A and B are shown apart, each in its own frame.
Chain A
C-alpha cells in the first residue's frame, strides 16, 4: 500500500505522468521515497537504482490530491482481425495463434482510422494477435510516438527493458500486456473445428456453450467468467488512467471486449450475448465526468462522414495538422 500511495504522491507533482506507466516514464530514483502530500520533490539523478515497483492495482477511487491531466479521455477498443484459425474455422480461445495477411491488413486499416485520436497508453491481451494488431495500428498513427511493451514477468525482464533517456520515454507509449484481456478460454474445444465438436458433443450442446452467458464448455470459461476477470481488470487498471486523463487504446478479443462494453454501456446478459463486434473496426468512447459516452467508430482519413468528435479531440487533430506536414 505504501508504494501505491507514494506513486500517487509523485504523480500529483508531475501532471503528465500515468499511474500504470509512471514507473516507466520516471527516471529511476536513488533514494526511497518518503511520503508527503504536497511539496514533494523528485530528485531525478543519472545514477541508476532499481525501478519503483509497478503499481498493480491502484485503488478504484482517485484521491483528491491528484491534479488531473484533463477532464476528458478517449478510450479506443479494437478487436483483432482474422487469425489463422479463424480462417480454418477452428475454436481458438486462448491458443496463441497469429494473424493472417487479411488480419494484418485489418489492423493497418484500423490504425488509419484512429490516426488522429490521441493515445497515451495501450492495453492488450497476452496473445500475439492482439499485440500485433495494436503495433500495426500504431504504425499509422500521426503522432509518431513509439509503443513499447512493458515486461514485468521477472525482475530481470524489468531491468533489462529499462529506458535510460527521459526524452525517449516521453516519445513512447507504454504497452501493457494482460492475460485478463485474453479471449474467453474455450477449454476442451480449443483446436477443434465445428464439425468435430458437433460430432463429439452434439449440435445442441455446442450451441448452448457458444451462445449462453453462464454455461462454460468443459474445462473452459463461460462468458460470465470471462467478463468477470476482464471487467475487474478494466476497473482496477484502465479506468483510473482514464480518470486521470490518459487516452487509452485496448486491443483485445471478441469476448473480452464485449464484456468491457457490457460494463461501459450497462448491457444485460442477454444483450451482451447477441452483441457482435466487427473485427478491425475501432470503437471510440469518451470518458467524462465518470461516464462513458459511445462515439461510434472513427471514420477513415479519406472518408467524408460525420462523426461526433469532442472539442478536445478536434483541437488535437488540429495540432497534429500544424506540426506534421
Chain B
C-alpha cells in the first residue's frame, strides 16, 4: 500500500488545525495544498437497506480519495461545464441551515417553521463559499430556514444564475409561476421544496425547552428519544422514520438528477441530512446517531459511476483551508482519529492500516442491531 503524501503539507496542516482536530472526524480531510492519493483498505460497516437486520456485515473496500487541487482553488472554475456533460460525474452539496430563533432559545424545533437568526443569516451567506461549483438544481425542505439558507448562499454564486422556487401546491400556483423566456430559464436554477427533507418531526416535544421536557417526561426518557435510532418521541418521528422518508425521496428524486450529470445542492436539516449521509456513506445506525453535522458548512460529494465519494468542504475564497468535520462523539472514533493524525506525520500507510484494524476489532466485538 503506497501513499503519496506530502508530509510537510500534512504536518503544517495538522498543526494549524490541531484545535479542531480534537473534535475528531472519521472522514479523511480535505488537504488544501497538494494533490494526494491515498489508497487503503478499510473496514466498512454497512447496513442493508432493510431495517430488520440482525447482523452488520463488514466488508473491506478500497478507498481511493483523490484531492484535486483545482477543486480547491478559489480563483478558477472548478469543474468546467463541458467536462460535466462528457463525464458521468456530478457534484452533490449538502448544507445544514444555521442558527434558528428556537436554536437560540434552546427549544425543540422539529417541523415548526421557525426562521433564522441574524447569525443564521450570516452562516448562510458564508456557506456561499460554494460559489465556484456549478449548481443545476436545488432541493430544500418546506421550512423557511432551509429555503433562506439555500437562497442566501446562492447570492454569492459567481455564475449569477437565479434560483427560482417551484410551486406545485395547486394548478393555479403552477400556472402563475410560469416563466415565458427561454433565455431566462437557462439562467435559472430551479429550487424544489420537499417536506420529505424536513427536520425530524419531534411530536409533543416541539416548542418545549429542555427543562420543561425533562420535567414532563423525565431525563432518561428524553435522552432516549434524542439519541436512539428507532424510538420516537410521543406523536413524533424516530430518526429511523425520518431517514426512511428522506432517503426514499433522495433515491427517487435526487439521485436520478445526479445520474444525469446535474449538480445538486441540498439545503436541509440536521436529521434529514444525516439520514442522507447515512445512505451515501453507508453508515450503521450507531454511527449515524453520533454523527454531527456542522451548521452552515457545505459538504461536497462527487457522484460517479453510481458511487458517492466524499470530498469534504470546498475552500472559501479567502480562507486557507476549510473542511467539514463531522463531530463524532463516540469515544471509539475520537481515539481512532487521534491515532490517525499522530501517525500521519510519520507514516501514512501505517496510520490507515491501523485505523482499519481498529475498526475491524470494533466490529468483531460489538454487534449493532437496527430494528
Residues of A near any B CB (own CB < 8 A): 48, 84-85, 88, 90, 93-101, 104, 126-128, 131-132, 135-136, 138-139, 146-151, 153, 156-157, 160-165, 167-169, 175, 179, 182, 185, 187-193, 196
B111, B121, B154, B155: the one within 8 Å of A160 (CB)? B111
One of A48, A136, A168, A175 near B235 (C-beta < 8 A): A48
Proximity string of chain B (180-207) to chain A, C-beta cutoff 8 Å, 1 when within and 0 when not: 1100110000010001001001011111
Can you list 13 contacts pairing A with B, beta carbon distance less than 8 Å? A96-B165, A99-B151, A104-B155, A147-B114, A148-B113, A148-B114, A157-B142, A160-B110, A164-B203, A185-B176, A187-B180, A191-B184, A193-B184
Given A95-B179, A147-B101, A149-B143, list of 4 further CB < 8 A pairs? A94-B176, A96-B177, A165-B207, A190-B177
- When the two chains form their complex, are residues A160 and B201 in contact, meaning their CB atoms are under 8 A apart? yes
Query: Which residue of A85, A160, A189 contacts B162 across the interface (Cβ within 8 Å)?
Result: A85
Contact A179 B121 (CB under 8 A): no
Closest to A163 in B: B207
Output the least CB separation between A65 and chain B (Å).
30
Which A residues are in CB contact (< 8 Å) with B163? Answer: 84, 97-98
In the complex the two chains form, what is the Cα distance from A151 to B198 in whole Å?
13
User: Is B102 on the interface with A (CB-CB < 8 A)?
Assistant: yes
B175 to chain A, nearest CB (A): 8
B366 close to A (CB within 8 Å):
no
Question: Nearest chain-A residue to B154 (Cβ)?
Answer: A98
Which residues in window 153-177 of B have CB below 8 A to A?
154-155, 162-167, 169, 172-173, 176-177
B155 touches A146 (CB 8 A): no
Q: Which residues of B contact A175 (CB under 8 A)?
A: 113
A192–B181 touching, CB < 8 Å: yes
Question: Is A190 touching B148 in the complex (CB atoms < 8 A)?
Answer: no
Q: Does B107 contact A (CB under 8 A)?
A: yes
| Tally of chain B residues near chain A (CB < 8 A) | 53
Known: A96-B167, A163-B112, A168-B208. A135 touches B180 (CB 8 A): no
Q: Are A146 and B101 touching (Cβ within 8 A)? A: yes
**CB < 8 Å neighbour of A128 from B110, B151, B201, B205:** B151
Known interface pairs A157-B142, A164-B204, A191-B184. Does A97 touch B121 (Cβ–Cβ under 8 Å)?
Answer: no
> How far does the alpha carbon of A200 sit from the alpha carbon of B117 in the complex, in Å?
45
Q: Per a CB cutoff under 8 Å, which of A161, A162, A179, A187 touches B173?
A: A179
Chain B residues with Cβ under 8 A from A151's Cβ? 113, 142
Do residues B206 and A162 form an inter-chain contact, with CB atoms below 8 A? yes
Is B10 interfacial (CB-CB < 8 Å)?
A: no
Q: Are A139 and B121 in contact (CB under 8 A)?
A: yes
| Smallest Cβ-Cβ distance to A196: which chain B residue | B181
Q: How far is the CB of B214 from chain A (nearest CB, A)?
A: 13
1/0 per position for B102-131, CB-CB distance to A under 8 A? 100101001111111110010000000000
CA distance A195 to B212 in the complex (A): 60
Residues of A within 8 A of B166 (CB): 96
With A131-B144, A165-B212 in contact, do A104 and B112 touch (Cβ < 8 Å)? no
A94 pairs with B151, CB closer than 8 A = no
Task: Tell me, yes or no, whether B40 is within 8 Å of chain A by CB.
Answer: no
| Closest CB in chain A relative to B194 CB, distance in Å | 12
Q: Using Cβ atoms and an 8 Å threshold, which residues of chain A touch B195?
A: 156-157, 160
Is there an interface contact between A189 and B180, defined as CB atoms closer than 8 Å? yes
